[in-house]
Structure 1
Amino acid sequence: MSLETVVWQKDHLTILNHQQLPNKISFENLFNIEQVWQSINFLKVAGDEDICLVAGYGLALWAHSKHSNQLPLFLDEFEQQSLYLATSMNSLSFHQFLKRLVASVQKATNVKEAKEIALSEVYLQQKNWDLMWENLGLHTVQLFKNEQNILFINATNRSPNPVLSIVHQAKQKGISLHPYFLGEHDENLTLIKVKLKNLQLTTSWIKQNHLHSNIISAVLLCFNALDHDLQPLFPEGSYDLAKLAYENEIPIYVIAPTAPSRYYKDSVYMHEYVPFDYIDGFITDAGLGDYNHFISHYKEIQQGLILY
């Protein structure tokens, strides 16, 4: 999407400072790993993927600042720096991302190769995530017609890409979709509102008790965890909203990106289940299908058959 939030600049990293939103669009340059740690810990970065990318590029910055040719020492220090960054945020998916990056770098046979891997792995991850969201957006847009109102439920700053990828792809295809949200003053929607405005799209709001098919064409329901049996877990309140949409005969689609780092049960958040009877389909980067379609694709990615 056009408003870049994380940009690698060879000798530094540029981020969109979330703390300045929505009053000001301000970018900040990060030149060392201490500044990267602060940007994550002080919540200047928003969104699971952006946080991972900032940390990854931060490690690449550190790696390229080192002049040692002793590989064992370099790899040990690289791992220590990753552990340092891990203290900036208590998130299992974030920690898993850092561990995967360290494991990739440890395959290097010399320091030069290790530095190249540190950067290329993060860059590749960013490209793969972008591709995943692009494909998911394309498959979602095919479900809708021009000038339809779409209610996004559970879209937050923590994961803004479901909304942005869909409306961006719709705009690219000349389809005007109108995004609706619950909670006009919800601070969790700040980044989404700014990015939609940058795409010259207005943000509309609706109260839960006004949810009916005369206004809303479809509901797109985001979720952020799978339980140990790979059943989708939705944030608290999702069940009542899904039930209301179902009773008003509004189609409900689950936005289900299948990147492995997205699905770890996090005890910080309250979760609940939504009956599959309420759900018209799961939309992944591989297309629209039922729950089994989603899980099959998810397992392929987990097994490394598809790279994300």
Structure 2
Amino acid sequence: MNQGKAEGVKSITWRDERLFFLDQTLLPGEVKIEEQRSVEQVWDAIKQLKVRGAPAIGVAGAYGLVVAMRGKISLDRGDFIQELEKQAEYLDSSRPTAVNLHWALTRVVDTLKASNARSGDELFNLLKQTAEGIHAEDVELCRSIGEHGVSLIREGMGVLTHCNAGRLATSDYGTATAPMYLAHERGIGFRVYSDESRPLLQGSRLTAWELQQAGVDVTTITDNMAAFVMQQGLVDMVIVGTDRVAANGDVANKIGTLGVAIMAQYFRIPVYVACPASTVDLSTATGAQIVIEEREAEEVTHFGLRRTAPEGIQVRNPAFDITPHELITGIITDRGIITPPFAESLKAAFSG
């Protein structure tokens, strides 16, 4: 199916006991929906970024356990739980930085372990219900993020975002884009500047595409144009997503976010980070403790199929960077906007 209007296209669909992912590696040129028939296929889809975005891969991981355990209903309780834990550990290995994947897998396992279900059939039905619950919650959480953040967007504003924290990265609405979608629905006129987001171009391939589909006024810029656009007075606010928020308010997000935040501080532009509660990791004290995923060199040495760097060149390809809490104005969550001092406010909002 070629690119066209894509209202209703979701990153993850659970229908008739079958799991489908939108292959985001093919966007914007092709809209392709793939059924996930094995846990290995789900693992690969997460690893290869066919499904990506912290909330979305959490939902994908939960459904991945359903796919993994489909043929295990004949097991007794002990063996079922043991196999479930094994499959959860396997799926968790696909992406180490985003906390939502680990959170969702842990929630599923803990729910089944705490239940009174005895047979494999009972456990499998509870597994499906838990995954479906996580999916439904994600939609509501993102809508709530939008409700809390929409008041930040005013008529005539310019809003810059980096990478993709849109509806393609979640079950719907997105995180960073949720306030944008609600503002657009309410007739507020504003413009979005979408960083291209090298090396995988999620900002141009995904964010610009989905906002354009929704009729939002969006302009794509390369990453090294952000300072110029800010200097021209075209950006009034930055909103980005995050894959993990540490207890002190440091955030891990797509590589390049740190640079955007530093530039925004220079030009006195507020920087907001949007995420659901599941992305807040109070067990990680600071950003220095977050494992940063290193990806394949080919993502840097090639632009599409064309080599753009010398053969044999040394390459670094961290997928994320850490933005210190000092550069962040506020964190837009489903429970409200969290403001400094983050160590105290995050603990008050999300502990217990």
Report TM bin, short chain: 0.7 to 0.9
Question: Given that residues 229 and 235 in structure 2 are in contact (C-alpha distance below 8 angstroms), is that contact kept between their aligned partners in structure 1?
Answer: no
- 1:201 match: 216
The reply on whether 1:110 has 2:97 as its aligned counterpart is: no
Residue of structure 1 in register with 2:326 after alignment = 275
In the alignment, is the contact (CA less than 8 A) between 1:5 and 1:50 conserved in 2? yes
Partner of 1:72: 78
Using the alignment, how far apart are the partners of 1:96 and 1:141 within structure 2?
Answer: 27
How much has 1:5 moved relative to structure 2?
Answer: 0.7
Give the equivalent residue in structure 1 for 2:229: 210
- Is residue 284–residue 294 contact of structure 1 (8 Å, CA) maintained in 2? no
What percentage of aligned pairs have identical amino acids? 19
Cα deviation code 1:178-227 (max 9, x no counterpart): 21133477613222222212213342145212314742232335454444
Could you tell me which of 204, 207, 231 is aligned with 1:192?
207
2:323 and 2:236 mapped to 1: Cα distance? 24
Over aligned residue pairs, what C-alpha RMSD do you find?
Answer: 3.1
Q: Is residue 195–residue 220 contact of structure 2 (8 Å, CA) maintained in 1? A: yes
List structure 1 runs of 4+ shifted beyond 6 angstroms: none
TM-score in terms of structure 1 length: 0.81
Task: Flag the 1:154–1:237 CA change in 2: closer, same or farther, 3 A.
Answer: farther
C-alpha distance in structure 2 between counterparts of 1:87 and 1:102, whole Å: 16
Cα distance change of structure 1 residues 221 and 8 upon mapping to structure 2, 3 Å threshold: closer
Instruction: Report the more deviating stretch, 137-146 or 218-227.
Output: 218-227
**SS of corresponding position for 2:133:** helix
Maintained 8 Å contact 2:249/2:346: no
SS at 1:163 equivalent:
coil
Q: Please give the alpha-carbon distance, in whole angstroms, between the structure 1 residues aligned to 2:13 and 2:343.
A: 31
SS at match of 2:35: strand
Alignment match of 1:243 (pick from 242, 261, 265): 265
SS for the counterpart of 2:10 is coil
Matched residue type, 1:128: E
Query: Which amino acid letter does the alignment assign opposite residue 148 of structure 1?
Result: M
- TM-score, scaled relative to structure 2: 0.72
Unmatched segments (≥5 aa) in structure 2: 1-6, 293-319
Contact 2:148 2:336 in 1 (8 A): yes
The 8 Å contact of residues 275 and 333 in structure 2, kept in 1 or not, is answered as: yes
What's the CA shift for 1:45?
1.2
Superposition deviation, residue 24 in structure 1: 0.6
User: Which piece of structure 1 moves more, 10-19 or 157-166?
Assistant: 157-166
